[in-house]
């Protein structure tokens, strides 16, 4: 069962291009500077983007959206292209703090081309092997960045993401 075209009580469907033009919203990215390191080193850890209250709001939104998708027959892995369907996800994708960090890594001209809410539920037997995200993307060359925004505490005990040091140099 597909959740495309379905409006949940918690959100609105992403407006059409015509509706966006009529809204008068400024949809441009603007240059910004962060205090974060410009080079990937062992000292670079997660970058806090939102405070606890803001992350709590995102978590509550995601939980409600996830429950709606799963009630419709979807899975915790099936909320893809979310920025095209849910206005709040689009706003998150284009959030100035997130865009600033991406610009620090790949330069000024950035395009937010995808957003995927992904949730591995407790005791889910599925595994994700070692990989580089760019291998899954329809882009060539793959001068691109994955922004992983954890809305739960990420720790070894609950299966946090792991990285292979230096693997970003391999393509």
Cα 27 to chain centroid, rounded? 18
Cα 151–Cα 93–Cα 75 angle in degrees, nearest 5: 55
Residues in the chain, pLDDT under 50: 1-10, 27, 29-30
DSSP letter at 117 equals B
β-bridge partners, 117? 79
Per-residue pLDDT of 34-61, as tens digits, reads 665 555 555 656 778 899 999 999 999 9
pTM flag (> 0.85): no
């Amino acid at each position: 069962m597909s959740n495309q075209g379905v409006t949940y009580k918690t959100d609105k469907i992403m407006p059409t291009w015509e509706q966006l033009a009529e809204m008068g919203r400024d949809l441009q990215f603007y240059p910004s500077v962060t205090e974060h390191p410009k080079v990937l080193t062992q000292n670079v850890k997660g970058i806090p983007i939102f405070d606890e209250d803001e992350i709590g709001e995102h978590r509550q939104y995601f939980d409600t959206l996830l429950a709606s998708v799963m009630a419709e027959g979807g899975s915790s892995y099936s909320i893809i292209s979310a920025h095209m369907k849910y206005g709040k996800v689009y706003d998150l994708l284009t959030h100035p703090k997130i865009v600033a960090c991406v610009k620090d890594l790949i330069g000024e001209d950035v395009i937010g081309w995808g957003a995927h809410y992904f949730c591995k539920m407790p005791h889910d037997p599925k595994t994700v092997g070692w990989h580089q995200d760019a291998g899954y993307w329809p882009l060539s060359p793959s001068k691109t960045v994955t922004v992983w925004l954890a809305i739960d505490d990420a720790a070894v005990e609950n299966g946090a993401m792991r990285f292979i040091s230096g693997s970003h140099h391999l393509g």
